[in-house]
Chain A
Amino acid sequence: GAVVSQHPSWVICKSGTSVKIECRSLDFQATTMFWYRQFPKQSLMLMATSNEGSKATYEQGVEKDKFLINHASLTLSTLTVTSAHPEDSSFYICSARGRGLDTGELFFGEGSRLTVL
């Protein structure tokens, strides 16, 4: 149980375009989802926390207009990188915590590698 699916796994786009990454909880209701960004050989940086049906809470230094997060249902959260530039290239990972499933740990998606040309 507690499977989180992330799509796409890989995406390459041109500079200036927008890219949407989906994060789905497959067998539980994700009341809270977290979006992380990971640079090569570095740790995970928390970007934002989203609760179903409410606006995401962004960490300091993360541009909310650049990284749009929507958590419209209990099984789906999306991250849209708007007007992407090469410096946005990174590995983005989502994680979720569920209703009745808060045993402390997070369940992670497989990550999405974004390359902006």
Chain B
Amino acid sequence: AQSVAQPEDQVNVAEGNPLTVKCTYSVSGNPYLFWYVQYPNRGLQFLLKYITGDNLVKGSYGFEAEFNKSQTSFHLKKPSALVSDSALYFCAVRDIRGDKIIFGKGTRLHILP
């Protein structure tokens, strides 16, 4: 069965500092990996995905993520955080043979001015 773990409930970062939001996954085959962001009382917005190819994936709003197959990780990163990045971030995985996307429990990111 596929699963996603986000070990941190909350991450606090000072504005201008680099940020990392951690994610590890488990699937039986090759994974599709995703990051989504959710603002209060809103749906989810797609940030980026890894399907195949380069392990470093660049996405929206300056975010990027690195796929590490040996560590089964897909951590989200940004070189310089903005206060407006404060939101709830979800890592998700899809087994390429399946249809469902399974989400991690989410990590709340607080960017401190």
Does B associate with A? yes
Interface residues of A (CB under 8 A from B): 4, 6, 32, 34, 42-44, 46, 49, 91, 93, 95, 103-111, 113
| Residues in B neighbouring A93, C-beta threshold 8 A | 43-44
Is B90 part of the contact surface with A, judged by Cβ < 8 Å? Answer: yes
Q: Contact between B51 and A108 (Cβ–Cβ < 8 Å)?
A: no
Q: A43-B103, A46-B102 are in contact. Are A104 and B49 (CB under 8 A)?
A: yes
Q: Contact between B49 and A110 (Cβ–Cβ < 8 Å)?
A: no
**Count of residues in B whose CB is under 8 Å from the partner chain:** 21
Supply 14 A–B pairs (Cβ within 8 Å), ascending by A.
Answer: A4-B43, A42-B105, A42-B106, A43-B103, A43-B104, A44-B44, A46-B102, A91-B41, A93-B43, A103-B51, A104-B51, A105-B49, A105-B101, A111-B42
The total number of A-B Cβ pairs within 8 Å is: 50
| Residues in B neighbouring A6, C-beta threshold 8 A | 43
| Residues in A neighbouring B43, C-beta threshold 8 A | 4, 6, 93, 108-111
Bound state CA distance, A43 and B88, in angstroms? 10
Bound state CA distance, A93 and B106, in angstroms? 15
Q: Contact between A104 and B32 (Cβ–Cβ < 8 Å)?
A: yes
Q: Contact between A32 and B32 (Cβ–Cβ < 8 Å)?
A: no
Q: Contact between A32 and B44 (Cβ–Cβ < 8 Å)?
A: no
| Residues in B neighbouring A106, C-beta threshold 8 A | 46, 101
Candidates B41, B45, B99; contact of A113 at CB < 8 Å: B41
Candidates A43, A46, A113; contact of B100 at CB < 8 Å: A46
Q: Contact between B99 and A32 (Cβ–Cβ < 8 Å)?
A: yes
Is B67 part of the contact surface with A, judged by Cβ < 8 Å? Answer: no
Closest residue to A4 on the B side, CB-wise?
B43
How close is B10's CB to chain A, nearest CB, in angstroms? 10
Candidates B41, B49, B99, B105; contact of A43 at CB < 8 Å: B105
Closest residue to A93 on the B side, CB-wise?
B43
Is B63 part of the contact surface with A, judged by Cβ < 8 Å? Answer: no
Is B110 part of the contact surface with A, judged by Cβ < 8 Å? Answer: no
| Residues in B neighbouring A109, C-beta threshold 8 A | 43
Closest residue to A91 on the B side, CB-wise?
B41
How close is B40's CB to chain A, nearest CB, in angstroms? 10
Bound state CA distance, A6 and B29, in angstroms? 33
